[in-house]
Structure 1
Amino acid sequence: MKPALPPPADGWPAIAELVPHAAPMCLLDTVLAIGPDWIRTGLAIRKDGPFCNDGRVGAWVGIEYMAQSAAALAGWEARQQGAAVRPGFLVGARRYLIHQPWFHCGEVLRIEAVRESGTGDGGLALLHGRIEAADGRLLAESTLSVFQPDRPETGLTS
């Protein structure tokens, strides 16, 4: 049985429209909410999902969940400005704190990415990421450094 996610708020685009990854590497299921400089996404851990072994996903994958949430925020902002969604790169993660070593099949996760600074000239930004269980328990958190070049094919900015 597929775990249930809360429905997204009306008007939010599908996650695939914001994150420039094709299946199966688009790991998020839905946009739950978006505000200025932040996004909340959701996903349900499934037995047939990428990285799932023996009914669980290692908490190390949470860094990618947070990075894809940051990408979804950048994609939303690009769409709001009438621009194309562009690829970006996870440069690093500082202080990745996990409060459980695994995400288990059937668990529903809420992932939040909040911009702390950046995305001005140079394309570099810092975001704080959090992963919570459906009941609000904090499962993991980190500060992510991300880079979004103007020309992803070369990795250069203007």
Structure 2
Amino acid sequence: MKTDLAIADLVPHSGAMCWLDRVIEADAESLLAEATVRADHLLLRDGQLGAAAGVEYMAQAAAAWAGWQRHASATEGGAARIGFLLGTRRYQCSRAAFRVGDVLRVSVQRLFQADNGLGQFECVISIDGAEVARASLNVFGPDDPEAFLNGQTP
């Protein structure tokens, strides 16, 4: 399903910390986002962005999926909430770096999500239709992130 929601409506990241440009499509299990590596990127060095940054693009796409789910739900809605990247498994990238002007297509597919907020996504980054990076991300999205950060458990 196509989406016309702005990235700011879906993820809690803002300013230089928001790396995604737009969501192309989303559904109950997946999301496809797009991002252009720009010359003013926070982590850019000598016109290149280290390949490890792909993990953050993937994590932001997973966060956008969660935000899209909240907006699609008649019962939730509301502002974007913070979540936590717990780790990644098998991050593989065929490049040493992304370059200014690269248009990244970031797809995330939910593999599972437990009632306690733990989840896993299979993620892929493509450039010009060719896969350049892949990983599985483990994430945690508590019902009340502020309470979680303050050490309060339900």
TM-score between both structures, scaled by the size of structure 2: 0.90
Amino acid at match of 1:95: R
Amino acid at match of 2:124: R
- Can you give the 5+ residue segments of structure 2 that lack an aligned partner in the other structure? none
Deviations 1:16-75 (A, max 9, x none): 110111111011111111122100000111111121111110010000000000000000
Please give the root-mean-square deviation of Cα atoms over the aligned residues, in Å: 1.3
Aligned mates of 2:120, 2:153 — CA distance in 1: 17
Aligned mates of 1:91, 1:139 — CA distance in 2: 22
Correspondent of 1:140 among 101, 125, 133: 133
Is the partner of 2:33 in helix, strand or coil?
strand
- Residue in structure 2 matched with residue 129 of structure 1 by the alignment: 123
Amino acid at match of 2:141: Q
- Residue in structure 1 matched with residue 100 of structure 2 by the alignment: 105
- Residue in structure 1 matched with residue 28 of structure 2 by the alignment: 36
- Residue in structure 1 matched with residue 87 of structure 2 by the alignment: 92
Aligned mates of 1:87, 1:63 — CA distance in 2: 17
- Residue in structure 2 matched with residue 5 of structure 1 by the alignment: none
Aligned mates of 2:116, 2:40 — CA distance in 1: 38
- Residue in structure 2 matched with residue 73 of structure 1 by the alignment: 65
- Can you give the 5+ residue segments of structure 1 that lack an aligned partner in the other structure? 1-8
Greater fraction of residues in helix: 2
Is the partner of 2:106 in helix, strand or coil?
strand
Deviations 1:84-124 (A, max 9, x none): 22110000000001111100011111000100011x31100
Q: How many residues align?
A: 147
